Chain A
Amino acid sequence: MTTLNQHTVLQVEDVSKMYKLGLVSTKSLAHDLNRWWHRTRGKEDPYLRIGESNDRASRGESDYVYALQDINFCVDQGEAVGIIGRNGAGKSTLLKLLSQVTQPTTGRISVRGRIASLLEVGTGFHPELTGRENIFLNGAILGMRKKEIASKLDEIIAFSGVERYIDTPVKRYSSGMYVRLAFAVAAHLESEILIVDEVLAVGDAEFQKKCLGKMGEVSKGQGRTVLFVSHNMQAVKSLCNRAIYLQNGRLKSDGPAQLIVDQYLSGYDSMETTRQYKNLDSEKSVFLKSARCLNTSENEKYMFTADEPITLELVIHKQHPVRGVFLHLLIRNNEEITLLETDSKEAGYAFIDTDKEGDFISRVTIPSRVLRSGRFHVTLGIASAQHDPFQIESLDSFISFDVLADKTPRDARRVALLSTILDWKNV
């Protein structure tokens, strides 16, 4: 927690943002007239019933919702602050207030220096203009002067890696190139405070790394302040020295990034609805009825540390007599790269080899420290040589789980896709 001092570049005091529900959905004069007509007859507003709920998940009584409530914090120059919280916690609202896109309902935000926000990259790109023209336009929208952009033009083009297409209209760009160019402009913005919201979700892995590197350079090397909103806890941990945790529009905690991220993640399981897979009905002769992830003490869990083995429990239902049924699993990471493939047949294990019908439970365990940190998705195939067609069921990414960084010093800085502990020997 930072208090006000001479290095403070951003001060947020008692900021709240209230949204009126119901009214928001009204777009036409007709609705307003209807509302007025109801009111003059002493009847209740016909539109207020729409979207009353306060917390996203539960119904509320009030027509008003606080997207943010009593937020107070200060940020010093050079700090890299991660803003974390679940969907709907108010992160984006906070950024919108900071970037002056919308106005707070109460409170005051004071800023020293220039704020540049990257709420979504590529804002103001005109499809008909060339990459070069768009660099200037986008830079100017973000608050840069023309000569400032001109002096950095070469650097921006080099960073974006789209030199070849720079004089082609951006409507001919691939979406990846578009994002690269847009981020390149924003990253070269000379603002004292840089606001970044989830830009890293786009672009390929190589470019994401480049962006993270650039952001690190901005905050650590150039002494500029970065506010970073992300669901990527690894990125928050490695980039930010401080984190602010928002929950239901309130500031829950504020402190060193490591600590706050851990707090956020530990609370995650209890808050999160189960990611269990369930399917009670299928026409297939053998199908997956349910699936869940378990830890070593057989508790259902979807968030593991790299030092924990992960057990996948599959409940397979058989409704027709099929023998010699095998299971086949693929594990993919978030970038759709298949990391692991395992087949029960290769383990010499035909899962269902009886004429009995009903539920069969199978468990398979991924040992600790096989996967590195990240989110993983499981794909299942059910097959039998005695069935036509051979493949009985195929389910893509029916369940997913997260692996957090292990507790070694290397932690999130691992570059490989696997971080398996191998057998090392002196010979």
Chain B
Amino acid sequence: MSDARDNQPQWDLVIESKTPLFRLNFRELWRYRDLLFLMVMRDYKASFKQTILGPIWFFIQPLLTSTVYSVIFGMIAKLGTDGNPRLLFYLSGVILWNYFSTCLNSSANTFISNANIFGKVYFPRLIMPVSVIISNMLRFSVQFLFFGLALAYYIIQGNTAVHITWVALLTPVFILIMAALGLSMGLIVSSLTTKYRDLTHLIGFGVQLMMYATPVVYPASELPLKWQQIIQYNPMTAVIEGFRYAFLGSGTFSPSMLLYSLGITVVLFFISVIMFNKVEKGFMDTV
């Protein structure tokens, strides 16, 4: 590029064998923003083609899961809910965890499920996982609205245990952490799975295990004190507990915990981008 000959044309693109360790080409991503948008639309449309209920499934899924949890963890296992109505408690946990886990799972499959298309055309590879994150965000927003309606119902009914706190203003931060954490962990797995397919079999189990290590089906306060400290190292703990504190007024919230989660997320994000960069260029030769 630095060749200073007079007749040297201005190159728009130089393909070389080396790539920098960390490369996030925002200009390029921006140029492909229409693709990002169309991918999101594709995910959305394709998931409801040939269904009768269509987007209503957005509500049914978390509702059913929350009901099942209420029966199993609430009624049978008799786990507490910090004095909150069971439905609200589980619903909040389920929609948050669903968002995080689908982000993780789908970005973990980036390379393998898109190998076909990646092998033929170049576009910023990051578009694929990011589009999934966004289309899941769409789903999460609808579910969140549903949660809001349920919350409003309980408040109007005069349920005194439930109250919204100022932490609700931090909701965008919670969502951002979940999205970035899911994306980063997914990308790391995805970068590893181009060579070691074994991890793909492990990931489903791993995510499930992580759910039980996160206060989704139980409040952190139910745990023995020692365990409570251990579980705080899980970056998702602060998100779910914080979210419950924000909207249900139960659970714990500490700014330092949230900062810790944010820090872990940023570190993982950088690691994932480095790994993604490394794999992105050569994966077609190994996948």
A residues in contact (CB < 8 Å) with B: 4-9, 11, 19-20, 23-24, 26-30, 32, 96-115, 117, 119-120, 123-124, 126, 128-129, 133, 136-137, 140-146, 169
In the complex, the 6 A-B pairs of residues with the closest C-beta atoms, listed nearest first: A100-B122, A140-B35, A109-B15, A103-B281, A146-B34, A119-B120
A113: chain B residues at CB < 8 Å are 12
Most chain A beta-carbon neighbours within 10 Å: one of B11, B32, B122: B122
Interface hit among B62-70, B142-150, B193-201, B248-256: B193-201
The smallest C-beta distance from A224 to any residue of chain B, in angstroms, reads 15
B14: chain A residues at CB < 8 Å are 108-111
B32: chain A residues at CB < 8 Å are 140, 143
Tell whether A124 pairs with B117 under 8 Å between CB atoms, given A4-B7, A114-B12, A141-B123: yes
Q: Which residue of A lies closest to B6 (CB)?
A: A6
B4: chain A residues at CB < 8 Å are none
Tell whether A141 pairs with B35 under 8 Å between CB atoms, given A6-B9, A109-B15, A112-B12: yes
Besides the contacts A102-B282, A104-B15, A119-B120, what 10 more A-B pairs have beta carbons closer than 8 Å? A24-B285, A28-B198, A32-B196, A96-B119, A100-B122, A101-B119, A111-B13, A111-B14, A142-B121, A146-B34
Q: Which residue of B lies closest to A111 (CB)?
A: B13
- A260 CA to B284 CA, complexed, in Å: 31
Contact A99 B122, beta carbon cutoff 8 Å: yes
B269-287, CB under 8 A of A: which get 1 and which 0?
Answer: 0000000000001101110
Interface hit among B37-45, B98-106, B176-184, B220-228: B37-45
Q: Which residue of A lies closest to B194 (CB)?
A: A27
Interface assignment of B49: CB less than 8 Å from any CB of chain A: yes
Contact B42 A141, beta carbon cutoff 8 Å: no
B122: chain A residues at CB < 8 Å are 99-101, 115, 117
Q: Which residue of B lies closest to A110 (CB)?
A: B11
A-B contact count (CB 8 A): 131
Contact B45 A28, beta carbon cutoff 8 Å: no
- A133 CA to B42 CA, complexed, in Å: 8
Q: Which residue of A lies closest to B7 (CB)?
A: A6
Size bracket, chain B contacts: 35 or more
Q: Which of A7, A100, A128 contacts B15 (CB 8 A)?
A: A100
Contact A112 B121, beta carbon cutoff 8 Å: no
Tell whether A106 pairs with B118 under 8 Å between CB atoms, given A128-B49, A141-B35, A141-B123: no
The smallest C-beta distance from A2 to any residue of chain B, in angstroms, reads 13
A105: chain B residues at CB < 8 Å are 17
The smallest C-beta distance from A271 to any residue of chain B, in angstroms, reads 27
19 residue pairs bridging A and B, Cβ less than 8 Å apart: A27-B195, A27-B196, A28-B197, A28-B198, A29-B196, A98-B15, A99-B121, A101-B121, A101-B122, A102-B282, A103-B282, A104-B15, A104-B17, A108-B14, A111-B14, A112-B12, A123-B116, A129-B49, A140-B32
- A20 CA to B118 CA, complexed, in Å: 20
B10: chain A residues at CB < 8 Å are 112
Contact B13 A110, beta carbon cutoff 8 Å: yes
The smallest C-beta distance from B46 to any residue of chain A, in angstroms, reads 5
B42: chain A residues at CB < 8 Å are 126, 129, 133, 137
Most chain A beta-carbon neighbours within 10 Å: one of B1, B12, B39: B12
B286: chain A residues at CB < 8 Å are 23-24
Q: Which of A99, A107, A111 contacts B11 (CB 8 A)?
A: A111
- A97 CA to B122 CA, complexed, in Å: 10
Contact B284 A97, beta carbon cutoff 8 Å: no
- A408 CA to B197 CA, complexed, in Å: 58
Interface assignment of B160: CB less than 8 Å from any CB of chain A: no
B residues in contact (CB < 8 Å) with A: 1, 5, 7-17, 19, 32, 34-35, 37-39, 41-42, 45-46, 49-50, 116-123, 195-198, 281-282, 284-286
Contact A5 B13, beta carbon cutoff 8 Å: no
The smallest C-beta distance from A10 to any residue of chain B, in angstroms, reads 10
- A140 CA to B224 CA, complexed, in Å: 53
A109: chain B residues at CB < 8 Å are 14-16
A143: chain B residues at CB < 8 Å are 32, 123
Q: Which of A4, A23, A28, A140 contacts B34 (CB 8 A)?
A: A140
A97: chain B residues at CB < 8 Å are 15
The smallest C-beta distance from B105 to any residue of chain A, in angstroms, reads 19
B17: chain A residues at CB < 8 Å are 103-108
Tell whether A145 pairs with B34 under 8 Å between CB atoms, given A108-B16, A119-B120, A133-B45: yes
B41: chain A residues at CB < 8 Å are 133
Most chain A beta-carbon neighbours within 10 Å: one of B38, B195, B284: B38
- A169 CA to B39 CA, complexed, in Å: 16
Contact B121 A136, beta carbon cutoff 8 Å: no
B121: chain A residues at CB < 8 Å are 99, 101, 117, 119, 123-124, 141-142
Contact A96 B15, beta carbon cutoff 8 Å: no
Contact A108 B15, beta carbon cutoff 8 Å: yes
A20: chain B residues at CB < 8 Å are 285
Q: Which residue of A lies closest to B35 (CB)?
A: A140
The smallest C-beta distance from A131 to any residue of chain B, in angstroms, reads 14
Q: Which of B19, B37, B45 contacts A103 (CB 8 A)?
A: B19
Contact B9 A112, beta carbon cutoff 8 Å: yes
- A143 CA to B19 CA, complexed, in Å: 22
- A32 CA to B121 CA, complexed, in Å: 30
The smallest C-beta distance from A87 to any residue of chain B, in angstroms, reads 18
- A97 CA to B9 CA, complexed, in Å: 21
A126: chain B residues at CB < 8 Å are 42, 46
Q: Which residue of B lies closest to A97 (CB)?
A: B15
A28: chain B residues at CB < 8 Å are 196-198
- A137 CA to B8 CA, complexed, in Å: 36
A169: chain B residues at CB < 8 Å are 49
- A144 CA to B1 CA, complexed, in Å: 26
B49: chain A residues at CB < 8 Å are 128-129, 169
- A7 CA to B8 CA, complexed, in Å: 9
A119: chain B residues at CB < 8 Å are 119-121
Tell whether A96 pairs with B284 under 8 Å between CB atoms, given A29-B198, A104-B15: yes
Q: Which residue of A lies closest to B283 (CB)?
A: A102
Contact B9 A123, beta carbon cutoff 8 Å: no
